[in-house]
Amino acid sequence: MGVQELVKANLIVPRSTLPQVITDLTEFDTFHVSEKEGAPSDPQLDSLSLQAYRLFLDIDDILKALNVQSEIGLIETLTKGTKVEKEKFKASDWADFISRIEAGGKPLVEEFKAILNERSELQKKISDNVVLKETFDLLPHLSVDLNVIGRLRRFHIILSIVSAKDIQELSRSLPEDIFISTPIDSERNAIVVATSKEGAERVDKVLRSFEVRPLEIPERLPQSPAEALKVINQELEGQNLRLQELNQMLDANLKKSERKLVSLREGAKTAYDVLTEVKKAGDLKRFAVITGFYPTTRDAEFKQKFSRWLLFTEKVELAEHHHGAEESGETHPVAPTLIKNRPLIRSFENITLNQGPPKYGEVDPTPLVMLTFPIFYGIMFGDFGHGVVLMLFGLLLYARGSSSLKPWGIMLTVAGLSAAVVGLLIGEVFGFAVGELIPVYQHPVLELVERLHGTTTFNTEAVTTILQASIIIGIIHLTIGFGLDVFKAVRDKEYVEVVIEKIPTLLMYLFGIIFALAFIGAGNSFAGLLTKTNPIPLLGLPVSQAAIISLPVILVSVVTIIIGKPVAIILKKVPKDSIAMSAVMGVVEFLIRVVEFLANTMSYTRLGILLLVHAALLMVLNRAISLPLPVAVP
């Protein structure tokens, strides 16, 4: 489990058989193709991938135009559930698969495109007619023929609609011309401007400065506004009826073909993705070279399946993968990461992947995340009521959600369970005492809030215990992290690094904790470290014994960190570097480590602090609810 070990494979096949080989590789679902930058694409595969992409775009455009969502929303998932209906396709290879998708999708695409194009054109015509109707509705009784006005030889007459606030200024700008204004409503006026033919250019210039355009009627309509309005109303009635028919046709066709269209789109997208990955198949003219990786657990299966072709395989060794390129001067393709965990652990992979997947050869932190995340969440938001609500929400998400949402459902369920358990331990449910809800549970293990005579206060002893527990959890968490760092370095065969840095860091932290406890046991004084015999906190060792045990180990660790690299340089165990500078950097690293140890360890107190803040907010909220509204709101 965790990050799987891989085998690198180079498969050499005749280009004529490449489509069938790719089909076989697709069936072998854990084969990861290594990308080859700059390599030419296979013409046949390039053509197939382009064909698949065009199909995908055509179908995707149709579905977007019909407002078909590619994924079901969370609210709809919770209320209606997720029902995935699968469409089965049988094909001999990818070329046949794409041909079948095209054969099934092209008639549907053409049918929908024809209806959508007609609807689009019709909507544009309706939009244009609505604009004309709004204009002519302002002049319902104007029966002047604009063609007659336009044929006048000695006069230039303009009819328009302008904003009422511009009327006075417009009138003053045309003192030499006939200017008639009639209010239409509170905001607009109809105007008529008459001038001689010689003044036409001047009048048009003035009107343009006010962004006033002459009233124009399309040639297809009668040139009388009143008659044009009648025709437009008739056209709109027919156009709206046709638009309704088209929408009904689209709804009926979509109801019949939605599942098929979605399946065809996903099939085309899958074909494009697969073919894009493998189409760069080397520089050879008649042979294709496919390089990729697969898990060692399927080595025998892979070799048997592709034994009829020329196949070269080698296991990707961790040390060689990390250091082989530096030592040999060659470049090696970076091995991908294949993570495999049990179902419960797999649910927490989203948290790991959110910070970036582990590199090949690194330890998969998901099992540790599965343990620590619910504990951290339970401590920070400990409340029995909130935990139960979150747990029920997680169960609902798992029961109704899609395959991508089910892991989140499991994760929320576990986190809610942890919060509910912590809530029981501290005796809190929605900010009230658990004993009020469960009468038999009057005395919680660690009563966080004391409720006496109508007042609520934090239990000082419980607060101290929670903060101490938070620090202890932090120490364990950090120790595991330092231990994994040592394990990784050993597995990568970085033995010098292990001796001069990794192990000293781990030991300095562990025994530094023991020394800190001894210091606390000695009354925060160095004077009694070697003489006092009272037990230290948590471990119970005598103060003097704890100091005698921890001090030598700390000193050896510090000395190793400071002079370890200079000694390794002298012994030629690491690349040559300045000995003096390495010693100085060792001192700097030691000081940084001490600060990091203190800061990182104390940062875990925020687990307990968030629990206190959570409880305090609920106390304030419950108190506000119990008060009259005018008092509660401020």
What tens digit of pLDDT does each residue of 97-117 get?
Answer: 889 888 888 999 999 999 999
Span 221-230, average pLDDT = 78
| Residue of 309, 245, 260 lying closest to 18 (CA atoms) | 309
Contact between residue 15 and residue 281 where contact means Cβ atoms under 8 Å apart:
yes
CATH topology for the 144-223 domain: Alpha-Beta Plaits (3.30.70)
The region that residue 382 occupies, defined by phi over 0 for left and psi between -120 and 50 for alpha, beta otherwise, is beta
For residues 574 and 511, what is the distance between their CA atoms, to the nearest angstrom? 28
- Which pLDDT band holds residue 324 (cuts at 50, 70, 90)? very low
- Which pLDDT band holds residue 147 (cuts at 50, 70, 90)? low
Given 3.90.800.10, 3.30.70.260, 3.30.70.240, 3.30.70.2740, which CATH number is that of 1-41+280-337? 3.30.70.240
| pLDDT tens-digit series, residues 70-82 | 666 667 676 666 6
Whole-angstrom distance between the N-terminal and C-terminal Cα of the chain? 56
Domain 43-136+227-273 has CATH 1.20.1460.20: yes
Span 455-464, average pLDDT = 88
Q: Where are the domains of the chain?
A: 1-41+280-337, 43-136+227-273, 144-223, 341-447, 474-595
Question: How many residues belong to the chain?
Answer: 634
DSSP three-state, residue 453: coil
Mean pLDDT of the residues in the chain: 84
Contact between residue 492 and residue 318 where contact means Cβ atoms under 8 Å apart:
yes
What's the predicted TM-score (pTM) here? Answer: 0.73
Sort 625 into a burial class: Cβ within 10 Å, 0-12 / 13-18 / 19+: exposed
Going by their DSSP bridges, the two strands 2-3 and 339-340 should be labelled as: antiparallel
Q: Check pLDDT > 50 for residue 325.
A: no
Contact between residue 116 and residue 62 where contact means Cβ atoms under 8 Å apart:
yes
Amino acid identity of residue 29, one-letter, is D
The torsion defined by the Cα of 529, 531, 534 and 540, in degrees rounded to 10, comes to 60
For 255, half-sphere exposure in the C-beta direction (CA atoms, 13 angstrom radius) is: 6
Per CATH, 1-41+280-337 and 144-223 having the same topology is answered yes
pLDDT of residue 622: 80
Span 402-421, average pLDDT = 91
* H helix or E strand, kind and range, residue 175: none
| Residue of 37, 230, 278 lying closest to 129 (CA atoms) | 230
